Structure 1
Amino acid sequence: MSSPPPVVHHELVDALRADLDSAGAGVAAIEERIGPVAAAALHREQALPALRATAGADDPVATLLRVFVLGGAVPRRAVDRALPTLGSDGAARLGLVRTAGAGPEDEVRALVDLRPVSATDAGGPVTWWLASDLGELATGGALRYDHVLGVGGASTTLAQVTVRDHRRRTLDLGTGCGIQALHAARHSDAVVATDISERALGFAAFNAALAGVELDLRQGSMLEPADGLFDLVVSNPPFVITPRGSGSAGRSPGEGARQPSGEPLPHYEYRDGGRSGDDLVRDLVREVGGVLAPGGVAQLLGNWEHRRGADWRERVGTWVDEAGLDAWVVQREVQDPAEYAETWLRDGGSTPDRDPAGWAAAYGAWLEDFASREVDAVGFGLVLLRRPVSGPPTLRRLEEWSGPVRQPLGTHLAACLEAHDTLVTLTDADLADRRLVVAPDVTEERHLTPGASDPTVVLLRQGDGFGRSVRAGTALAGLVGACDGELTLGQILGGVAALLDVPADALAAELLPEVRGLTRDGFLHVT
């Protein structure tokens, strides 16, 4: 049986916050305390090096790490030293630990994972302490169906790509432990956070209290608890495509993971939406516009299936067309069905050596489910949707970008949206009358054959955002090089045309679409 979430007792939470601040057990302090080797191993979910580095120690940093992250037993006296105001009794009253007795040497063990999180989003750096369920690192067993996840790679990605300008009302759909809501509270007047899991909302309430943040927490599925309109919706939804129903023969890879319904495959509340294929993401894309205020933005992560004989852009493009919203979808990763099944089986704590029969049955059920819909691959990516302030949608962009990006990406995405809105209002003649400047992160790379005076290839490279590169001809390279805000685009076009001895109108017709593309992607800024 899963332990209940921590209790929000404000006086005790205040004491805990003060003790954690005094302990100085932040991310940097922990990594310095255990050393780079143990810190790197901890990031790979390997506890032994950190356990060795803190063996026999009772300093506050070592104690907090051993009990709340590594799941080890520590004596009461060590916890009382690490949390002098709260004490081990106060930690027990909050539901953070259980104690074996009242003596100073009696063991104390954590009931939850409590760790510092340092993050940087488009609004700048921040540090919180976050509580979640103990993971496999601490328990050594498979996750339970109602597991409340801490901060993972997906939640970090969503926080970094979210736009962070001021918002009146923000909705965090599927809040989990509350991390996206905490980010949103930094730039929103009010934050509504929803989840289908009562336990998740309990953790979110505790984390909000510990961070000193006020959230409006509501239980319910998907958009059901939302009321009114929101200027920002963020969601790391349960998008994992998990086989459901009688066609998924086999047994769960661990009784601890089996949900009450007795489904043949484990169903984890934090990742499995319980719908067929990618229907959950499809429905969210199509329906989220109903809670967006004019100009409101929705940003979510998702999986989508690549069906045999169809480009993924066709399927997802149909969803965004039905949504009636501006849309920018970026596919970041693609896995074949076998890779996908292996990834999420291991995520739930299953391995072929721990339970060979269960692994094989679950693996086969996944492959059978994908085959039933002729799925060749599964894409993962970012979805940005926006309700136009007026009129029909003007942005429809579906692309694939598997290369590295410069985080936090939210600043770049916001700038690209602004550039798109500017370009939509400008005719070619209007654009020619404007002054452009090259973005400060853009560099030019020239490739020359040895001994040649003219380059064979000129590349414009972007250091920020997606780190795009654009191959530029002589005319485009010359135009971009002259964009310093002194001359209008039309004047630059005329000068380049004269230098190349070509008609100015013909050159403008050739280069203006490319200039629009460079401006849309952040290489050039319209002043």
Structure 2
Amino acid sequence: MRRTLTSPAPPAEPEGTGLVAALRTDLDASGFTVDGVGDLLGEVASAALHREQAVPARRALEAAPADDPRAPLTRLFLLGDDVPRAALDRALPGVGAEGAERLGLVRAAGRAADDAVRAVVDLRPYAAVDARGPVSWWLASDHGELVTGGRLPADHVLGAGGASTTLAQVTMRDPVGRVLDLGTGCGIQALHAARHARSVVGTDVSRRALAFARFNATLNATPDAAPDRPDADLELRHGSMLEPVAGERFDLVVSNPPFVITPHSGAPGRAVAEALGDYEYRDGGRAGDDLVRDLVTGVGAVLEPGGVAQLLGNWEHRRGEPWTERVGAWLDAAGLDGWVVQREVLDPAEYAETWIRDGGTTSEREPDAWAAAYAAWLDDFAARDVEAVGFGIVTLRRPAQAGARPTLRRLEEHTGSVRQPLGAHLAASLAAHDWLEARDDAALAAAHLVVAEDVTEERYLTPGAADPNVVIVRQGDGLGRGVQASTGLAALVGACDGELAVGQIVGAIAALFGVAADDLAVELLPAVRGLVRDGFLRPAP
């Protein structure tokens, strides 16, 4: 069979066949899970496959037992290799090659046992841990470059990539009523949301993506509502950005929008245009970072009072304009509480290389298209004096009281490692912010605090010195922050066991140091606020 780069029809269940439920049963029984495939391939081959390198995986599969159903499923769906029809019949006994073909997952060369079967979509196990706990599912999407061997079609439907997993992990998972998954793609955020919401609406400009999302929702739903299964009502709607939900309200909005900054000026030739990548999953058709700006400033219109929006995005660093001012202006225009964490920064050349390669164009295979697309990206950035591009997490919240002004405006950079899932930490930080907003310094001094379980203290001393030069209080959870503490602050943190009020501890430390308690309070209370906000200290139960 000849491989084609045109998009096949998305998978769908013929009405009344029950084939998706049978497929779910077969996949579950086969051991075709993230851990199962990892055990089959081994650590080296699994890591290589994650880097889109198939040779180690194929070598590992040569040694797999002939009757192990994971082997043909891995060859078929993850590597894009042909497998004999009889092998697929054994791996999926309830569905068989015929049922898989009716679902739109494979294409068979014939009906004989030795006839080749080839996957026309990617179907792979997915495992993650979000703030509600672990999940283990299967996701269908379009084949990536490893299988296609070249450029991806413009209507390519992406599976669960790194950005998708990041958003799933940073999303708050408190039980809510309605959730909006804006730009649902293959439906991964909607599936996560369906475990803690009564209803979920997923929207996308791509009808093809919505078809994949519908298939994935059906594949991973079960009538017994197991803890890791989505069981909320899911509605899928076609349309751009917030248009399909205009006039509605949601308790939570999640979005991994098409935020990639792509050149749109001029009239490039066909080869260059294809190399630039007019991909629905990543390019919203807007200039620069306008799409992310408009989402930040506009999403409040669909939030319930107290509702939260969490999204990923890119923003430009323009010459002479700090990114915090640029993105901060978006928060001001939104009229919402806002917290932006910049996680990565790429220079214009790195950014261009990342996204040209993402679409399947390489400098080795198509040097002229690569060079022309590269130049177009650099010209586009130069036209707006862009010196770098930031990527990060945006958390927005509509004030709970009508007419209330936002109280949170926080923009920070954190490019180090974090402890995922981060959703519970972000939720706790918002709650801590609200707790602090309700207390002036006198009320804070009267509060009883305890040190969080993940907090440790590091002391650095000059050899031979009796006292440390530097004391760092560090958290092991969340963003893994480290705070350099003065001697007084370190002493206060060490004494926060819930027994004494903050003011009492300050007074005791002041007496020990021989300083005025009021003066020490002026120094320490702002620092205590920061430690409460970031989860180092918590109100005593």
Instruction: Give TM-score scaled by structure 1 length.
Output: 0.97
Offset of 1:501 from its aligned partner? 0.7
In 1, distance between residues paired with 2:114 and 2:13?
Answer: 28
Contact kept? 2:186, 2:212, Cα under 8 Å? yes
In 2, distance between residues paired with 1:339 and 1:499?
Answer: 55
CA-to-partner distance for each residue in 1:286-324, whole Å, 9 max, x for gaps? Answer: 000000001100000000001111100111011110000
Which residue does 2:226 correspond to in 1?
none
Matched, 1:366 2:385: no
Offset of 1:141 from its aligned partner? 1.7
Secondary structure of the residue aligned to 1:271 is: coil
Secondary structure of the residue aligned to 1:245 is: coil
Unaligned 5+ segments in structure 1 are: 259-263
Which residue does 2:416 correspond to in 1?
403
Instruction: Pick from 2, 10, 19 the counterpart of residue 5 of structure 1.
Output: 10
In 1, distance between residues paired with 2:327 and 2:487?
Answer: 37
Offset of 1:250 from its aligned partner? 4.6
Contact kept? 1:285, 1:319, Cα under 8 Å? yes
Matched, 1:44 2:44: no
CA-to-partner distance for each residue in 1:211-243, whole Å, 9 max, x for gaps? Answer: 114410000000011151000000000000000
Contact kept? 2:38, 2:46, Cα under 8 Å? yes
Which residue does 1:284 correspond to in 2?
295
CA-to-partner distance for each residue in 1:263-302, whole Å, 9 max, x for gaps? Answer: x832000000100000000000000000000110000000
In 2, distance between residues paired with 1:183 and 1:468?
Answer: 27
Offset of 1:252 from its aligned partner? 2.8
Which residue does 2:252 correspond to in 1?
232
Secondary structure of the residue aligned to 1:252 is: helix
Matched, 1:357 2:357: no
Instruction: Pick from 487, 512, 520 the counterpart of residue 474 of structure 1.
Output: 487
Matched, 1:20 2:27: yes
Contact kept? 2:150, 2:361, Cα under 8 Å? no
Which residue does 1:306 correspond to in 2?
317
Which residue does 2:175 correspond to in 1?
166
4+ residue runs over 2 A deviation: 55-59, 248-253
Mapping of residues 207-286 of structure 1, within 5 Å: 207-212=216-221, 213=230, 214-227=233-246, 228-246=248-266, 249-252=268-271, 258=274, 265-286=276-297
Contact kept? 2:180, 2:253, Cα under 8 Å? yes
Contact kept? 2:48, 2:56, Cα under 8 Å? yes
AA partner of residue 207 (structure 2):
E
Offset of 1:455 from its aligned partner? 1.0
AA partner of residue 429 (structure 2):
C
Matched, 1:294 2:305: yes
AA partner of residue 104 (structure 2):
G
Mapping of residues 313-392 of structure 1, within 5 Å: 313-390=324-401, 391-392=404-405
AA partner of residue 242 (structure 2):
L
Instruction: Pick from 199, 207, 214 the counterpart of residue 190 of structure 1.
Output: 199
In 2, distance between residues paired with 1:494 and 1:55?
Answer: 72
In 2, distance between residues paired with 1:410 and 1:453?
Answer: 41
Unaligned 5+ segments in structure 2 are: 1-5, 222-229
Contact kept? 1:15, 1:86, Cα under 8 Å? yes
Contact kept? 1:250, 1:358, Cα under 8 Å? no
CA-to-partner distance for each residue in 1:410-462, whole Å, 9 max, x for gaps? Answer: 01000000000000000100111110001110101111122221111111011
Matched, 1:459 2:472: yes
In 1, distance between residues paired with 2:265 and 2:309?
Answer: 31
AA partner of residue 384 (structure 2):
R
Contact kept? 1:459, 1:470, Cα under 8 Å? yes
Contact kept? 1:5, 1:203, Cα under 8 Å? yes
Contact kept? 1:173, 1:194, Cα under 8 Å? yes
Secondary structure of the residue aligned to 2:271 is: coil
CA-to-partner distance for each residue in 1:51-73, whole Å, 9 max, x for gaps? Answer: 12213845210010000110000
In 1, distance between residues paired with 2:13 and 2:245?
Answer: 24
In 1, distance between residues paired with 2:397 and 2:271?
Answer: 40
Offset of 1:251 from its aligned partner? 4.2
Instruction: Pick from 133, 137, 149 the counterpart of residue 140 of structure 1.
Output: 149
AA partner of residue 53 (structure 2):
Q
Contact kept? 2:158, 2:186, Cα under 8 Å? yes
Contact kept? 1:336, 1:378, Cα under 8 Å? yes
Secondary structure of the residue aligned to 1:53 is: helix
In 1, distance between residues paired with 2:435 and 2:375?
Answer: 51
In 1, distance between residues paired with 2:42 and 2:355?
Answer: 31
CA-to-partner distance for each residue in 1:95-125, whole Å, 9 max, x for gaps? Answer: 0001100100000000110010010000000
CA-to-partner distance for each residue in 1:482-516, whole Å, 9 max, x for gaps? Answer: 00000011111110110011111111111100000
Contact kept? 1:171, 1:232, Cα under 8 Å? yes
Secondary structure of the residue aligned to 1:210 is: helix
Matched, 1:125 2:134: yes
In 2, distance between residues paired with 1:179 and 1:252?
Answer: 32
AA partner of residue 29 (structure 1):
G
Contact kept? 2:298, 2:334, Cα under 8 Å? yes
In 2, distance between residues paired with 1:58 and 1:98?
Answer: 22
How well do the aligned residues superpose, as a CA RMSD in angstroms? Answer: 1.2
Which residue does 2:532 correspond to in 1?
519
Greater shift, 443-452 or 490-499, is seen at 443-452
Contact kept? 2:78, 2:124, Cα under 8 Å? yes
In 2, distance between residues paired with 1:21 and 1:458?
Answer: 51
Secondary structure of the residue aligned to 2:464 is: coil
Contact kept? 1:63, 1:74, Cα under 8 Å? yes
Secondary structure of the residue aligned to 2:244 is: coil
Contact kept? 1:66, 1:72, Cα under 8 Å? yes
Percent identity for Structure 1 against Structure 2 = 68
AA partner of residue 222 (structure 1):
M
Aligned residues: 518
In 2, distance between residues paired with 1:249 and 1:17?
Answer: 45
Contact kept? 2:41, 2:60, Cα under 8 Å? yes
Which residue does 2:224 correspond to in 1?
none
Contact kept? 1:163, 1:410, Cα under 8 Å? yes
AA partner of residue 325 (structure 1):
L
Which residue does 2:503 correspond to in 1?
490
Instruction: Pick from 34, 37, 42 the counterpart of residue 41 of structure 2.
Output: 34
Which residue does 1:261 correspond to in 2?
none
Contact kept? 2:79, 2:147, Cα under 8 Å? yes
Contact kept? 1:242, 1:277, Cα under 8 Å? yes
Contact kept? 2:277, 2:356, Cα under 8 Å? no
Secondary structure of the residue aligned to 2:245 is: coil
